[in-house]
Amino acid sequence: MRRQLNSPAMPGQHGIQIDQIERLLHGAGTDWDRRAHRFAVLAEAAAHSALSRSWRTRRPRGADPQVFEAWVELCRGRWAGRMEDAPATAECCRRAAAAVPDDPTPWVVLLGILRLTRAESREVFAVWHEVTARDPWNREAHLHMLRYLSPEECGSRSSQLDFVHAVRASVPATAPAVGVELTALVDEHTRIAARGGVEALLVRRQWENNRAATALETALAGWPRPGHLRHAAALADLNLLAFAMVQAGRVRECADAFGLIGDTVTAWPWTLDGDPLDRFGYWRSRALT
């Protein structure tokens, strides 16, 4: 489906694609994690086309078309660094949330919009609470908050660490948000490397401190076991673990993670080191030989 959305549309193809998207979302039911993952993947693939507008025109009162169009606009805003009409897109989310009050997905997209527009923390946390009241371990929402609280966005290193500590203390071992701490560590690795100088040369030492080493050991003990991670973005988190182990100089220890990943390579975080497919292939061969 993603490949079809990335291809140039043929006359009349939007109708077929809309039917397929509706079936995929309906198939997720109230599995909010899988539903949000499908929205995210499909919206990114459709962001270069007019598909979201076609769906909204076809079903102007439907909640899913409004959420999809808002998510597409959010993807475009991320690429451009700004949104064309953030208030209107946010209003789409609020209308969808009113129509489907149990669904956290409209609130997840709204959280992403507020993050991108650097909204005030009071407004952001209000939406965060709406998401977690419906889906306590929503992966997308946790990643939005992690980055919003970073020193690069609207927070600080201490506020981000406080958030990570709170999540680590309560997140179940197989929850969709289980990768929050490892994501924070990779972000920190990237932050240090970007500074240059002596710090960048010694960046691998970051992975030797107690916090990072413990996070890696915890993830390594469970994540690579077949069937342990069952959330929709499990392979993305396994890519994250493999990348972190590479950066820590522990390539041989992540052979099981590479084995489970197979050929499902995620752009992030491998793109931090160059071409994702090239970097992944290189390190997988090192881990498995």
Per-position DSSP letters for 207-218, written without gaps between them: GGSHHHHHHHHH
- What is the C-alpha to C-alpha distance for residues 36 and 269, in angstroms, rounded to an integer? 20
* Cα distance between residue 232 and residue 253, in whole Å: 24
| Last-in-domain residue among 128, 148, 168 | 148
Domain count of the chain?
2
170 within some domain: no
Q: Terminal CA-to-CA distance of the chain, rounded, Å?
A: 34
- Identify the domain containing residue 244 by its residue range: 178-289
Q: Is the Cβ–Cβ distance between 212 and 185 less than 8 Å?
A: yes
Residue 115 and residue 185 in one domain: no
- Same domain assignment for residues 268 and 205: yes
Task: Say if residue 131 is in the same domain as residue 195.
Answer: no
Task: Give backbone dihedrals phi and psi of 38, rounded to 5 degrees, phi first.
Answer: -65, -40
In this structure, the answer to whether residues 218 and 144 fall within a common structural domain is: no
Within this chain, do residues 59 and 105 fall inside the same structural domain, yes or no?
yes
The reply to whether 211 and 254 lie within a common domain is yes
- Pair 281, 215 in one domain: yes
Same domain, 116 and 209: no
Phi, psi dihedrals of residue 58, rounded to the nearest 5°: -70, -40
Indicate whether 109 belongs to any domain. yes
Torsion angle, alpha carbons of 22, 27, 31, 33, to 10: -60
Residue 133 shares a structural domain with residue 237:
no
Tens digits of pLDDT across the chain (289 residues): 555 555 555 546 778 899 999 999 999 999 999 999 999 999 999 999 999 999 999 999 899 999 999 999 999 999 999 999 999 999 999 999 999 999 999 999 999 999 999 999 999 999 999 999 999 999 999 999 999 999 999 999 999 999 999 999 999 999 999 999 999 999 999 998 888 777 666 778 889 999 999 999 999 999 999 999 999 999 999 999 999 999 999 999 999 999 999 999 999 999 999 999 999 999 999 999 8
Same domain, 32 and 137: yes
101 with 208, same domain? no
Considering the domain architecture, whether residues 136 and 215 belong to the same structural domain is answered as no
List, in order, residues 6 or more apart from 195 with CB less than 8 Å away. Answer: none
Residue 168 included in any domain: no
The domain spanning residue 16 has which CATH number?
Answer: 1.25.40.10
